[in-house]
């Protein structure tokens, strides 16, 4: 399938690890000029080196998306290197702790919203003037199943992911006339390094095998994942690459669930 992504310029926020890293690698493999940002320089350098070794074109920018100056530097350096922005993947995000509502302070809520929602807003707002100048541009926001089917815990995180889906729909209506297609992708239980570390600790604490810890977590917390396994970052990346491609030219305002059947209702 010809995806038409060669020589497109893509920004991936939070592109130094986990799902963001997988997205950056997948876009680079399709011939995109990839710009990644994150707060940790060492992780950024490692991903940049890895993608360059594989023959990809990448530029890493150390940036904190909660800081307007960093966001402006990210956009200006992207334009300086590649002259355009064709694809924006708003992936950067934090969980903010596995707590229930009463254990969360207002500061906890503000911290998670500042990264997950306002960080996305800052980067999108800064990129839009350049994206309007390009043809067939895409904005893809990485939400979560928690934005549709929230748990009883982490209400602050769940609310940010619901806000991302709503923001996606709103922008899709506002900017279709400019040729900007806006969609979201909602993963569920993806085996990122962070999740793997947490499950490994669970396995050691219970003196059970890692696979047993995974299945125990699934049974207790994600019983609706019908494929009975975690997803892979590369599986999320595949959905993002498709939405960024010419093959998705009639898709906008959608929330694509990469969740193994986790969402219980078809209408959600």
Q: Which CATH class is domain 9-190+232-258?
A: alpha beta
Active site residue 157: yes
Contact 29, 3 (CB under 8 A): no
Dihedral sign for Cα atoms in the order 47, 236, 233, 198: positive
Measured CA angle at 234 (ends 25, 204), to 5 deg: 115
Distance CA 172, CA 150 (A): 24
- Specify burial of residue 26 (Cβ count, 10 A radius: 0-12, 13-18, 19+): buried
Average pLDDT over residues 65-86: 98
Phi, psi values for residue 134, rounded to 5°: -90, 165
- Among candidate residues 82, 99, 130, 157, the one labeled active-site is 157
pTM of the model as a whole = 0.95
Average pLDDT, integer, range 21-26: 98
Q: Count how many Cα atoms sit within 13 Å of the Cα of residue 220 in the half-sphere of its side chain.
A: 6
What confidence tens digit (pLDDT) does each residue in 116-164 have? Answer: 999 999 999 999 999 999 989 999 999 999 999 998 999 999 999 999 9
pLDDT in tens, 220-236: 888 889 999 999 999 99
| pLDDT-derived band at 240, boundaries 50, 70, 90 | very high
Of 10, 126, 146, 122, which is closest to residue 65 (Cα–Cα)? Answer: 122
Hey, what long-range contacts does 61-65 have (CB within 8 A, 24 or more apart)?
A: 61/35, 61/36, 61/37, 62/37, 62/38, 63/37, 63/38, 63/39, 64/39, 65/13, 65/37, 65/92, 65/115, 65/119, 65/120, 65/122, 65/123
């Amino acid at each position: 399938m010809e995806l038409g992504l060669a020589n497109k310029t893509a920004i991936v926020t939070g592109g130094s690890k986990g799902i963001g890293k997988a997205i950056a690698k997948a876009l680079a493999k399709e011939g995109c000029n990839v710009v990644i940002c994150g707060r940790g320089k060492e992780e950024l350098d490692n991903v940049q080196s890895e993608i360059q070794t594989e023959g990809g074109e990448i530029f890493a920018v150390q940036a904190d998306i909660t800081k307007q100056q960093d966001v402006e530097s990210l956009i200006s350096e992207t334009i300086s290197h590649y002259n355009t922005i064709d694809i924006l993947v708003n992936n950067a995000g934090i969980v903010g702790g596995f707590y229930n509502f009463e254990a969360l302070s207002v500061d906890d809520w503000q911290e998670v919203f500042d990264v997950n929602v306002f960080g996305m807003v800052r980067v999108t707002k800064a990129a839009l003037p350049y994206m309007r100048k390009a043809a067939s541009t895409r904005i893809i926001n990485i939400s979560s199943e928690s934005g549709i089917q929230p748990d009883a815990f982490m209400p602050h995180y769940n609310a940010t992911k619901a806000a991302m889906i709503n923001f996606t729909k709103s922008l899709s209506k506002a900017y279709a006339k400019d040729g900007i297609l806006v969609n979201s992708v909602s993963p569920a239980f993806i085996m990122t390094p962070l999740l793997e570390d947490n499950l490994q600790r669970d396995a050691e604490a219970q003196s059970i095998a890692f696979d047993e810890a995974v299945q125990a977590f699934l049974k207790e917390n994600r019983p609706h994942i019908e494929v009975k396994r975690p997803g892979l970052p590369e599986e999320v990346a595949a959905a993002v690459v498709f939405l960024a491609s010419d093959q998705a030219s009639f898709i906008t305002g959608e929330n694509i669930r990469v969740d193994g059947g986790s969402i219980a209702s078809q209408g959600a």
